[in-house]
Chain A
């Protein structure tokens, strides 16, 4: 932390001791720290930062990492609950926060502070938009091979905090596999560095792992170092249409056992196909499922992939068709980003994510279809069967509480298949009745101790995460 902000903290701390009675007075203190214009208490402006129906009393826009640390330090002393965010692509996720005083908007922490394209590494600030990062990297033919929900609007910090990934996972792994190190601010205002910026490093505890997926409950991610990858030379998407999940089970097995390493693989039911092509899920056509397989590489690699996949299709009785590359790109963006699966004014949108052993993917889908057969919901399923990840979009009548019961039933099914189910998105009115994360496992005891140590006053996104962390 630099000297200047240490002084600001000290000054601010003079006021600490008694928590100011109202938001206006504590906002004044934060204004002294970051500038009055960077603290907004206007109710309408605050409402834009609501998280599952809870609105903060102030939005603070820190200028730099040191500001974040200073703000957290004071918030800790005063017991003010803080949720870090940028564009709010994940405000629908998680349980309803217990308290929420300050929205910490990291939009001005958006700098690239170290870039070594020849070394395939980059260090960026957490508030940088994912779309900006990808654009920046693409100039040198590089990318961060993630396709998280929220797409280009998601922030780097948010993607990591939510451990967000998409269908590219099958080829490149998730955020935890790409992060080399990071800086984060603790609840008591320290800036901690963990890991480093070289591609191999085992010095000390890997605290990046703790921060990734901690959903803003252990600290605020400030800067991240990534390892980068070259963009695939060409890409080709193959679409296998068929009815009957058995065919797709065999196809999945055949592809995973083949020498191919697809970029993405996802099984779409008819409503999901409609969403993928930019239509409403009500516009579904036909009754067959489609298995979309994207392959990347040189022309020779794609040619070979075409042979292999063609042979698999012939054997299964579903010849694959090739999608136009430009169209495919747009479709994949929609498939990866559930926030584009627009909800409708008259209906509730639920997005569920099941993670299962690979072999259980199709069994889980079968169960979903069976359970929803009698319902008048529109269920779109996006099943990344190669990694055992199934996303479901459910459109139900407004306030239909039966979906909440369905979630727990589905959770039981997932756990019987040795998997888990989380709610990514749901109507605020019903969120109180559904635990987004499901019951914690036995390691929750250790997790609670971690939370207690790193955030003893419980100011970081309180109540949003699993088991009330």
Chain B
């Protein structure tokens, strides 16, 4: 599609955008745009303009302005996405939602909240906290990521094991379509008659519409929470434990695994209290009625011991629990201390295959002479291998992509998925054929063309370009942001 335009031309469009959204709501100078060239994926793209709308009307009018000038529109929340969902693929206007961050309504009795898309995930839970409620999906980036971005990517998090991902918690949306029209999907009650457009829009990665208001379900905070840390001398024992817990019919609220390499890196950075000499730990959280937590905790401890856990530590108070979670949630950041760059994947496999898969990842690390850490949502089989590298080393970067590609292939082979919560984005668009037939993808494109016929909303995402089938579209260059 469009190449980036000259500064003078951009200035003209910027003036028009300023008349819509306000003179302080538009960025167009090259130096101002730099911050919007990337997100959590180390791939970059230059926008022509960044606009910060304050209202749905602004969004609609900017979309129409973009259409008149044949510019794509890319919605952007906090830019924490890990699949390049907010990265501009071929120029265009980035709509930054930093100014649409109002919590419009918290309706405790009806267990729902209405928010603007720029609201930070954790802020909603904090706002509902006094009433004893919270918003369940909790991406690790929840202190920064926005609900609009969560809706676009159908984001998950550690606690989605028990409560589901974003789509299970969204009741309705206000959406600006690619022609600038505003529609409302879903309803503040169950089962509104008609097609579940809300379910279609959630996870559509900004390719069908831009969300300007979200109605979400709030959940009551559990009475009791218990967090356990099961410590293992062998990775295999930890992964077997995960399969056994599932098979026992216990659904913890969260069941995370960290391997020795990763937890040592985290421990250095955040002093979460992870044992430095272990091969792996499981971070297990149980929630619910006091009695249920009590019993499940005993069951889980028994399973862990039977599978060879060296020691099981129970967080004694909220402070200890927060520390354990802090380590988990800040893990990616901690990686920055030990490696100039890392690449994180998001494949999913059936939980019963975890032991096999972790062995495979270990073998890949040896084969390609790479350091790969594993920190992931073990309970639902959602892997996050972290591959360490130095972007300045071209040979090493090549090996990273090879290993990553093979890990994805293995996920597909096991009947799994290429993404559990990060989305396809730019990164994995060429991997879609690993899990979908040409016909399946064609059907999705047909749906896309209904809403977005000119491919003006977030072009270049989700669908294979056909140019590099089966390969990850990750640019690894020295210019890539360090993490």
Which residues of A line the B interface, CB within 8 A? 116-121, 141-142, 163, 169, 173-174, 176-177, 186, 190-194, 196-210, 212-214, 218, 229-230, 253, 256-257, 259-261, 297-298, 300-301, 303-304, 353, 355-359, 387-389, 418-420, 422, 437-438, 440-447, 449-450, 453-454, 465-467, 469
Contacts and interface: CB of A to CB of B under 8 A. Distances in A.
A12 to B, nearest CB: 20
B437 interface: yes
A421 to B, nearest CB: 10
A357 B110 contact: yes
Nearest to B420: A200
Contact of A443 (B107, B197, B220): B197
A453 B196 contact: no
B156 A297 contact: no
A213 B424 contact: no
Contacts of A438: 193
15 contacts: A118-B246, A186-B443, A198-B348, A198-B380, A200-B421, A203-B432, A207-B443, A209-B202, A210-B199, A260-B289, A261-B288, A298-B295, A355-B190, A359-B110, A450-B195
B382 interface: yes
B424 A204 contact: yes
Nearest to A164: B191
B376 to A, nearest CB: 11
Given A206-B154, A257-B220, A301-B292, A192 B183 contact: no
Contact of B190 (A174, A205, A300): A174
For the side of the interface on B, what is the size category? Answer: 35 or more
Contact of A212 (B154, B196, B294): B196
B132 interface: yes
Contact of A447 (B195, B417, B440): B195
Nearest to B424: A203
B292 A297 contact: yes
Interface in B410-452: 415-424, 428, 432, 435-437, 439-441, 443-444, 446-448, 450-451
A53 B191 CA distance: 26
B65 to A, nearest CB: 23
A353 B190 CA distance: 11
Interface stretch (B162-170, B229-237, B395-403): B162-170
A142 B292 CA distance: 19
Interface string B273-290: 000000000000000111
Given A191-B439, A202-B423, A209-B167, 15 more contacts: A119-B352, A173-B168, A196-B417, A198-B420, A200-B417, A203-B419, A204-B444, A206-B200, A207-B443, A210-B196, A212-B196, A260-B289, A355-B190, A420-B189, A446-B197
B405 interface: no
B195 A210 contact: yes
A199 B418 CA distance: 13
Contacts, number: 254
Contacts of B193: 420, 422, 437-438, 440, 465-466
Nearest to A417: B189
A288 B204 CA distance: 49
A199 B380 contact: yes
A353 to B, nearest CB: 8
A204 B349 contact: no
B352 A116 contact: yes
A207 to B, nearest CB: 7
Contacts of B187: 355, 420, 441
A355 B186 CA distance: 12
Q: Name the residue among A204, A256, A353 with the largest chain B CB count within 10 angstroms.
A: A204
Contact of B415 (A198, A387, A444): A198
B202 A206 contact: yes
B333 interface: no
B194 A447 contact: yes
Given A173-B168, A446-B183, A440 B292 contact: no
B153 to A, nearest CB: 7
Contacts of A229: 251
A6 B353 CA distance: 36
**A-B pairs with the 7 shortest C-beta distances?**
A209-B199, A230-B249, A259-B223, A200-B420, A201-B417, A118-B247, A437-B193
B118 interface: no
A9 to B, nearest CB: 15
Given A207-B447, A441-B184, A177 B168 contact: yes
Contact of B191 (A119, A213, A444): A213
B380 A205 contact: no
B346 to A, nearest CB: 9
Given A297-B292, A301-B289, A355-B190, A209 B196 contact: yes
A404 B164 CA distance: 40
A190 B435 CA distance: 17
B24 interface: no
Nearest to B160: A200
B196 A213 contact: yes
A388 B291 contact: no
Contacts of B203: 202, 205-206
B80 to A, nearest CB: 16
B185 interface: yes
Contacts of B348: 196, 198-201
A261 B111 CA distance: 14
A459 to B, nearest CB: 17
B268 to A, nearest CB: 30
B432 A442 contact: no
Contact of B439 (A190, A200, A303): A190
A116 B292 contact: no
A467 B436 contact: no
A198 B381 contact: yes
A257 B132 contact: yes
Nearest to B444: A205
B302 to A, nearest CB: 15
B226 interface: no
A134 B37 CA distance: 52
Q: Report which residue of B111, B185, B190, B250 has the largest number of chain A beta carbons within 10 angstroms of its beta carbon.
A: B190
B199 A176 contact: yes
B377 interface: yes
Contacts of A177: 164, 168
Given A206-B200, A300-B295, A118 B243 contact: yes
Nearest to B449: A453
B195 A304 contact: no
B319 interface: no
A118 B353 CA distance: 11
A447 B447 CA distance: 11
A118 B191 CA distance: 32
B440 A198 contact: no
B188 interface: yes
B196 A197 contact: no
Nearest to B217: A173
B249 to A, nearest CB: 3
A203 B418 contact: yes
Given A174-B191, A207-B444, A355-B190, A118 B184 contact: no
